[in-house]
Chains A and B, each alone.
Chain A
Amino acid sequence: SAVISQKPSRDICQRGTSLTIQCQVDSQVTMMFWYRQQPGQSLTLIATANQGSEATYESGFVIDKFPISRPNLTFSTLTVSNMSPEDSSIYLCSVAAGTARNTEAFFGQGTRLTVV
């Protein structure tokens, strides 16, 4: 299993500012994933973060808006840049852990972001 800590758990931010969300895992993992959950919606993958390389972004998400760092195998950050009220969402960090035949995704508690 994997235990994931996300900081902050929630924040209220002014439009036009940026927020950096931290994700710490209690074990070394190859890939870390960032998801967005807009109010009342399902989860959408933003990007996959590999250590030592640039993150891979899903369609509709760009690095300028959501820069990601992955300095080591247990840590990643997601920045939400130049925020607008439409960015108000829960942002979740996720990792896959387990054996090759029995893996599952583990999620942090999420960061609830409100942009005013």
Chain B
Amino acid sequence: AQSVTQPDIHITVSEGASLELRCNYSYGATPYLFWYVQSPGQGLQLLLKYFSGDTLVQGIKGFEAEFKRSQSSFNLRKPSVHWSDAAEYFCAVAIAGAAGNKLTFGGGTRVLVKP
């Protein structure tokens, strides 16, 4: 069964600084990969996704993620964070061929933004 690990439970970053959130997955083939954001009291919003092709994926709100097959990673980055980026971020995988279905989520990383 696939699994997803987000090694950092909490990250605190200053406003305007760069942000990188780590995600490692375990799966025998290339899965479909996703990053979601959950703001306090809000539902889940998709930031970006990777299915195939270019390994650097651009998403909404200035986020990007890079798929590295050799490292089984799909790290999320943002060059300059805004106070509104404070939220919980979840990496998720779906079995290839079942994109968007039956997601396995990582434990989440809570991002705090200092003024």
- Chain A interface (Cβ within 8 Å of chain B)? 31, 33, 41-45, 48, 92, 94, 96-98, 101-105, 107-110
Q: Report how far A38 CA is from B90 CA in the complex, Å.
A: 14
Identify whether the interface residues of B are mostly helix, strand, loop, or mixed.
Answer: loop
Known A-B contacts A42-B90, A43-B90, A43-B105; the reply to A104 vs B100 at CB < 8 A is yes
- What distance in Å separates the Cβ of A73 from its nearest Cβ neighbour in chain B? 15
Q: How far is the CA of A31 from the CA of B44 in the complex (A)?
A: 18
> When chains A and B are docked, how far (Å) is the Cα of A108 from the Cα of B43?
7
Contact A33 B102 (CB under 8 A): yes
In the complex, the answer to whether A48 meets B102 with C-beta atoms within 8 Å is yes
B contact residues around A94 at 8 Å (CB) = 103
Beta-carbon contacts under 8 Å, B65-115 to A: 90, 92, 94, 98-108
